[in-house]
A = this chain, B = another copy of it.
Amino acid sequence: MNTLQNDKFLRALLRQPVESTPVWMMRQAGRYLPEYRAIRQQAGSFMDLCKNPELACEVTLQPLRRYRLDAAILFSDILTIPDAMGLGLYFSEGEGPRFHKPIVSAKDIQALTVPDPESALSYVMEAVRTIRKELQGRVPLIGFSGSPWTLATYMLEGGSSKDFARSKALLFDQPRLMHQLLDTLADAVSSYLNAQIAAGAQAVMIFDTWGGVLTPRDYNDFSLPYMQKIVANLTKEAENRTVPSIVFSKGIGHSLVEMMRIGANALGVDWTMNLSDARQMVGDKVALQGNMDPCILYASAERIQQEVQTVLASYGRGNGHIFNLGHGIHPAVDPEKVKVFIDAVHEYSPKYHI
């Protein structure tokens, strides 16, 4: 179990030398793959699939059979923690995630407790163990969670939101109560990610999907410190190897320098900034993961190959780049185009590592 045949991804996260730029895709196990859609139909609901370790393992491995990916990512959802806290997560067609019992009062926040991952989230740990076994050390497995701020928005809005009215009203008018909620969530995410590491996750990622809807001031008060707390709590080594951490806040280019305080090994960058600028901002302090516009996968093969080279050149020579899209892959993308993209990273990246 401890033999890892391809550790390029882990080395790049630690800014160690690699022979070519490692690559994976956010949402690589997903709807753009016909074999995923087949399993999804077999499983029932989206949550039924998440809660079935064998099927979750199967969809995790599907993209690795098609593409030369340098990492696998656990198939799960960012909202499993609030579900384990009793809010009742479900997915309504076309509307995304919803909660049966969203937070509506201060009492609801005070009543929240940190779930025990090995009982309330045992299906996730079982999936991690199953995937690790099936991966047979081919590539590392990434575990993940939503960030406290991102989880809080869904718990307060009852699902997806356009304006985050309830979350922001609480943040503005009852900052102490919001901090209490975020602190509980930070403890829950810490214990959840550490359980994933104990079960076999070899790197962990925090998705701060909605950090970018905050002003830089509020981001620095209400999102960043709780990710910092989580990273401080994380198990740093497992199986005699460092377990690197990645933080991705969408639309947060303005605070990349501040984000280094979080202490993660790598920061995710979306496509709305140049990697060259991002690299200049962070220096040699952290690795960067990103950042090709996911829409490029609607373009021709030639244009995709060209964009891969542009992104590689934008980061430039040297260590610390993990190639990824700037956001999750879209469900309408042709799987053949993904092959073009992944192959292009393998073809064009070695010269940046000589």
- Flag whether A236 is at the interface (Cβ < 8 A): no
Query: Are A215 and B172 interface neighbours, CB within 8 A?
Result: no
- Flag whether A212 is at the interface (Cβ < 8 A): yes
Query: Are A172 and B273 interface neighbours, CB within 8 A?
Result: no
How many Å lie between the Cα of A165 and that of B294 in the bound state? Answer: 9
A330 → B minimal CB distance (Å): 5
Query: Are B168 and A298 interface neighbours, CB within 8 A?
Result: yes
Query: Are A172 and B298 interface neighbours, CB within 8 A?
Result: yes
Say which residue of B169, B218, B271, B330 sits within 8 Å of A298 (CB atoms). Answer: B169
Say whether chain A's binding surface is mostly helix, strand, loop, or mixed: helix
A259 → B minimal CB distance (Å): 14
A141 → B minimal CB distance (Å): 28
A163 → B minimal CB distance (Å): 5
A240 → B minimal CB distance (Å): 40
- Flag whether A296 is at the interface (Cβ < 8 A): yes
How many Å lie between the Cα of A81 and that of B152 in the bound state? Answer: 41
Q: Which residues of B contact A42 (CB under 8 A)?
A: none
Query: Are B217 and A274 interface neighbours, CB within 8 A?
Result: yes
Query: Are A172 and B303 interface neighbours, CB within 8 A?
Result: yes
A95 → B minimal CB distance (Å): 12
Known: A172-B298, A173-B303. A274 touches B216 (CB 8 A): yes
Please report which residues of chain A, range 129-180, place their CB below 8 angstroms from some CB of chain B when the two chains form the complex.
163-165, 168-169, 172-173
A122 → B minimal CB distance (Å): 34
Q: Which residues of B contact A303 (CB under 8 A)?
A: 172-173
Query: Are B163 and A330 interface neighbours, CB within 8 A?
Result: yes
How many Å lie between the Cα of A271 and that of B214 in the bound state? Answer: 8
